[in-house]
Structures are given as structure tokens and as C-alpha cells.
Structure 1
Amino acid sequence: MPSSDSPEHSQSTRLAEIDKIPCRLVHPIPLGFVHFCAVQAIHEILIERDVDPKFIFQKAGISTQFWENFDVVPLTVLGRLTALAADHTRCSHFGLLVGQRATLASLGVIGALMRNSETVGDALRALVRHHGILNRGAVVEMLSGDHIVAVSYVPYEPDAEGAALHCERALAALTKVLWSLCGSDWTPEAVLLPRLQPPDTTPYTGFFRAPVQFEQETATLLLPSWLLTRSIEGAEPRVRTVVERRIRQIEDEYPPDLIDEIRRRMRTAGIRMWTNAKQVARQMEINRRTLSRRLKAEGTSFRLVASQLRLGIAKQLLADTNMSLALISAALEFSEPAAFTHAFRRWTGTTPSAWRKERRPDHATPGPSAAWGGSGVADR
């Protein structure tokens, strides 16, 4: 029988821990949903700040005891809940606080896979590949350069509320996870956030210990490239093999939803072709006509899916940043701002400027709700 300090005992203990992961963190989730862990963190923070969670949760449309009965929460509801909590606690960095509560354990099987990856780079690539198990409303992507690695959290659910809050929460959570994997003796090169600059930025620079740039197109951590080669102490190859097999079983049993897969691919860095159905079909390894036929069977079309996605991104950038219409137009790959304005009017019946003004009457000097989360849902 292996001794308590032997490698065999360590592996057996780690494997037993994998078996104890709650079912809610093992099974995949429906389109537009995320796991419950962030909601638990919100509940805890509200109590710590002497704000009645029951009132906030009811206003957001969910029960304070929902995680005892449900495994997931819609991304839209999580955004609404976070924005309400930010307004009622009058905390401009509420999303940051939620993200700081993240642990490897809160990532379930993905956290177990990252913990037992050989290097930090392997762990990040595992997160990129399998993030859909945890979140069916955003994609994580990684781009490597000579000296800098960009890791981005990109929401793609078009109706998601509080996207800016989701983004800062996700980057804080990723930073905490990376520190737990390899120590905190390093810092990001920079942090980019797609939200209005809050009145006080010190909570952000204090946590990340790095320059934080607001009003950005995407939420991105810029990491030193050498970090990818850092070994993860105590990683167990045998445990990694078991976890990988578990994840493959999950993904084989629950393949991605067609529309979800299209949105994910259009939001990745390699696919910036918002109207190129042929290229997306090629990436999905199916025929263009087959893609159209399958979408038609679901009552939609590639053009409609692409338009809904672009509209969601446009609304988020209009509401959560002061980016000019020219910059937003370029981010959405319109030929010119006039083309963006025409498309936005077709989608909504109004212009981008009018929509922004209605959403944020004084967007040049945002009020508390705009500056504290960007969704403005607390004012509804």
C-alpha cells in the first residue's frame, strides 16, 4: 500500500478529488448560460457590504437559494445581477471583486486540467479549448507574439447584459487562477477593459499591479511570453490524462449548438469576416450549402446570426465606452461609419448616436450607473 507521501498516494488523492467535483461543474451548460460560482461570490460580497442579497436577487429576477436547485444561470441574468449589486453597493469595481473570488476549484474539471498541465502555456491552451464547458456566452482566445501573449475574454451572446462587468470579472478570475498555478511573482504587462473609466482606478491597478487601459474594444490580459514556459509544480500527468478523458466524454455527449458555434468562430481573432459564411463553414469543416440548410431548419440564416452578433457588440461598445462611431464602425468591420449607422438604423429603428444618448443621456461625463458597470440596468 503506498505511503502517505509517495507519488502514488499523491496521484490517488488527486484522482479522488476529481471524482468529488460537483456534477454542476462537470456537465456542460446550455447556450447563453454560465455556471453558478460567480453568483455565489456576489451573494457573499453583498452580505459583507451590509446589502440585503434577497432584495438584489429578487430585483434581478432570481431566488437567493437558486444554486441549491440549479447548476447554471443565464448570462443575461448574471449581468443584470452584477450591475444591480454594483449600483446598490455603490462600488465602481464590483466585477473586479467578484473575479477575485475565483479559484481553480471553481473552474471544475477545467481547473483540474489546468492544475495538472505541464506548463502555464499548456494550461491556458486547455482553457481556450474547453472554455465552452463553463461558459456558453463567451470565448477565451490567446494570441502569441515574440514577447507578449494576449489572452482575451470575448462575450458573444448578443443579448447579454452587463458585458463590461463580465469582462472585468473574467480577467480578474484568470489572473487569480494564473497566480495560483505558478505564484504571484509576475504581473501582466497591461490590462485592457471595454468599459468606461471609473472615478477611482486604484482598485484595478492595485489588484493587477499593472497599467490598466479603459475604453478598449476587448477585455485582454497582456502577459510576458516567458510565462508560458513556466512549469506548474506538482502537476500529475496521470491525473491530466483522466481529466482529459472526462472532458472529451462531456464534449462528445454534448456537441456545440450550431448557432453558438457560429458566434464563437466569428468572435475569434482568426475570423473577422462577419459576412463570409463560406469561410466560417470551411472552419467548421462543412459545406456552405449544408450550413445554410441547417440554419434554415432552425428558422434563421447566417446573415441574421451575424447581424444579431454585430448589433450586440455595437450596443455594448456604445453603452460601456466613449469610443467614437468611427472606431466602433472599424471594430465591426464596416466599410465606413455611414454604413454602420445605416445598418444600426435597420436593426433598431434609430441611429447609434440617438441610441447612445437615450441609454446614457450624458455619455461624455457618465453618471454612477454608467461608470460603475456600463449596463445601466439598475436604472430601469
Structure 2
Amino acid sequence: MPVRSGAMAIQQFPVSGSVRSRSGLALVMDGTLRIGPLIPIPQLLREMTVDPIDVMREAGIDPALFEDPENTISFTALGQVLSLCVARSGCPHFGLLVGRQGGISSLGIVGLLSQHSPDVRTALRNFVLHLHLHDRGAVPTLEVQNETAMLGYTIYQKNVASTDQIYDGAMAIAFNLMKTLCGAKWQPSEVLFCHAEPVDREPYRAFFKVPLRFDAERTALVFPATWLDQPMQGVNPQLRRILEAEIETLNVLSDGDFVSQLRRILQSLIVAGCPSVDQTALLLAMHRRTLNRRLNALGITFKQLLDETRFEIAQQLLRDTRMPMVDIAVSLNYASTSAFTRAFRRWSGATPAAWRAALQHD
């Protein structure tokens, strides 16, 4: 997508892409996220002797967007902004620098509820269940296998530039989030990135101080699952009840589109490896027959929705990572690479390999 500039381009992305609840919190629409974690961008640019106003205008957004953490920005605009930040500053790890300054406080009401949860497991469950109120272009996941836990983040929004920068920032924020929840002694055993290895790994080593793996199956923090049972300190139960009530109100206001809500849930379940109709119904607090009846009334089946969501994730993995086809097939819960190839050809008219090759020639 070409970068636009000038007054007409600014009008393309208004200061806020969402309406607000009575308490003034943003109702985040599909394909957008709260500006809160991105607030450091203008100051970082100034420190690198780059005029942030020029960058914002070239990206086609109003610089005033960054004056209120409850404003929202589209993922498309964010990708353009980060691409320009990297180009103008000459800093290839700009997204990491943005994320380093973020943490639980930058996640608004979702971060606050996590901070006042009784234990780390509940805190992360609240984070995963409610981050869609803050971010509707990606999904977080929490997976526990044997003695290992993985806190991940997967972008599903299409046609987003600089996803590597977004992933870097997300992992830095998640790292700071876990430090707040668990204390200074918490350390991941490994940090995974689904994008290619950067030319210079040193900024990543200096911040995370643990083994790093690039071109991984997903982007995630890997840590011992025993941390999940740690009780939280300084919890205010009364404040938690208030936050839960406000979040429930936001969920009711923002989940008017049942299919969009289902897609978000399926995106998380596919990445976690358990996209069944029973698990989906459980997360929606309804019987599977009720779920199927609602889908039938909309003229869509669960399998159709699951296939469409798998296709979206497959495109993201082919576009933004160098994962082998066999690993992508496993990530999407296919029994074999050939089964994934047949499904992708049915969706797109091309094999996954041909689709990826065509992107490289665009």
C-alpha cells in the first residue's frame, strides 16, 4: 500500500477509530488497537533527531493521535508508522525500543485487571480472554504443556507492514508484564520470534538476557509453568470487582458481531492447537447445539468459519515468517503437509509455496 501524505491523508485516519464507553474507555473496533503501548514513539523519534510530526503526516495520520492512550489506530496505519520510523531513524529494532517502555500500565483496564487477579494463572487468563478490548488485530495465547508455559502473540490482521516490529514490541511488553506479575526474579527460559533473525541480535540479548530463537513456529515467551501458581501481591479485591463489571460492560458493547467474536476465539484456539466446536462453545459459555443453531441462523457452519480462520493464519505465517510448510501444517492442526497444501489450494487457487513465491516477486 503506498504511503500517503498531506491533509487529505490525515483525514484517512481520524484521531480515534472507536467510540467510547460512559467511563471514557475506547471500544476497539476490528483491525485496530489502543494507542497506549505506542505512546513512546514520538519521544523515541525526537531522541533520534527525527521529527515525529513529519513521520505521522507521511504515514497519513494526525500527530494528535498520540496525545491520549485511549485513542485507537488501525493495524494498517501502525505498520506504516513503524516502517517509516525504522527508515527515518535507521534503527532496525525500533519496535523493540517501543515495547521496552511498555508494560502492564500501557494495557489499560485489561492490564489493571490482570494486576489485581489472585494469582499469575488467573492474571494471564484475564489477559488472554480480554485483550480483544485493547487489540483487535492479533490474539494472545497461553499454552501449558507438561512443565512448560508459553505466552504467545499472533497477528491475524491482513496486509500489515512491519509485523516484525510489532512482534518485537509485543514480546518486550509481555516480558515487562510478566516481571510485574511475578517479580524481578522471573525469567523466561527462551524467547521465540516467528520472523527472520535480525542482522544485529545484541539489542535483543541485552534486553531479554535469555536464549533467543528466530524463524520459530510462533512468537512467544517460554517459561516454567510453576510460575502460574504464584499468588499475586498487593491485590485489591474490591477494585477487581469494579474492573470486572466495567469489562463486562465493554464486552457487551463491543461484541455485537457474533461472527467477529467467534473468529477471535478461533484464532486463539487454532494457535493453541485445540480449535474444536466444544472448546469454542465452552469459551462462549453456551452448549454446542446453541452455537450451531446460531451459526445456522446466519447461514454459516462451524467448519466454514474454521477453514476461513485457518486460511487467514496460514497467509500470515507464509507472509511474515520463513517457517517450512511442514511446520505451518502442524501449527494449523493438519495431519500432513499434503493435507494443508490441498486445503490452501482450495482457498486461494495456488499452492502455499507458489503463493509465498508470488509475494517475494511483488
- What is the TM-score when the length of structure 2 is the normalising length? 0.80
Deviations 1:327-357 (A, max 9, x none): 2233234454445445445544544334433
Q: 1:303 to 1:82 in 2, by over 3 A?
A: farther
2:345 touches 2:351 (CA, 8 Å); kept in 1?
yes
Q: 1:273, 1:104 → 2: CA distance? A: 28
Pair member with larger Rg: 1
Aligned partner of 2:16 in structure 1 is none
Matches within 5 A, 1:237-256: 237-255=237-255
Superposed displacement of residue 196, structure 1: 0.5
SS at match of 1:288: helix
Aligned partner of 2:106 in structure 1 is 106
Superposed displacement of residue 301, structure 1: 6.5
Does residue 65 of structure 2 align to residue 59 of structure 1? Answer: no
Q: 1:310, 1:90 → 2: CA distance? A: 36
Aligned partner of 2:203 in structure 1 is 203
Superposed displacement of residue 60, structure 1: 2.6
Q: 2:328, 2:159 → 1: CA distance? A: 18
Structure 1 stretch displaced more, 224-233 or 340-349: 340-349
1:34 touches 1:137 (CA, 8 Å); kept in 2?
yes
2:26 touches 2:34 (CA, 8 Å); kept in 1?
no
Aligned partner of 2:309 in structure 1 is 309
Structure 1 stretch displaced more, 194-203 or 325-334: 325-334
Deviations 1:72-112 (A, max 9, x none): 11122222322332233333322221211113322222222
Q: 1:96 to 1:223 in 2, by over 3 A?
A: same
Superposed displacement of residue 258, structure 1: 1.9
Superposed displacement of residue 266, structure 1: 1.8
Q: 1:318 to 1:123 in 2, by over 3 A?
A: same
Matched pairs, number: 336
Superposed displacement of residue 277, structure 1: 6.3
Letter in 2 for 1:317: L
1:278 touches 1:288 (CA, 8 Å); kept in 2?
no
Q: 2:274, 2:236 → 1: CA distance? A: 40
Does residue 42 of structure 2 align to residue 43 of structure 1? Answer: yes
SS at match of 2:194: coil
Superposed displacement of residue 221, structure 1: 1.0
2:292 touches 2:302 (CA, 8 Å); kept in 1?
no
SS at match of 1:30: coil
1:76 touches 1:162 (CA, 8 Å); kept in 2?
no
Aligned partner of 1:151 in structure 2 is 151
Q: 1:306 to 1:87 in 2, by over 3 A?
A: farther
- Unpaired runs of 5+ residues, structure 1, are 1-20, 362-379
Q: 1:146, 1:163 → 2: CA distance? A: 31
Does residue 119 of structure 2 align to residue 119 of structure 1? Answer: yes
Identity over aligned pairs, percent: 30
1:157 touches 1:309 (CA, 8 Å); kept in 2?
no
Structure 1 stretch displaced more, 308-317 or 26-35: 308-317
Matches within 5 A, 1:327-346: 327-346=327-346
Superposed displacement of residue 307, structure 1: 4.5
1:182 touches 1:232 (CA, 8 Å); kept in 2?
yes
Matches within 5 A, 1:195-344: 195-255=195-255, 257-269=257-269, 272=273, 280=280, 284=284, 285=286, 286-294=290-298, 296=299, 305-344=305-344
Superposed displacement of residue 305, structure 1: 4.4
- Unpaired runs of 5+ residues, structure 2, are 1-20
Higher RCO (C-alpha 8 Å, min separation 6): 1
Superposed displacement of residue 148, structure 1: 1.9
2:103 touches 2:173 (CA, 8 Å); kept in 1?
yes
Runs of 4+ in structure 1 over 6 Å off = 276-279
Deviations 1:134-160 (A, max 9, x none): 112222222234432211122333454
Superposed displacement of residue 304, structure 1: 5.8
What's the C-alpha RMSD, in Å, of the aligned pairs? Answer: 3.1
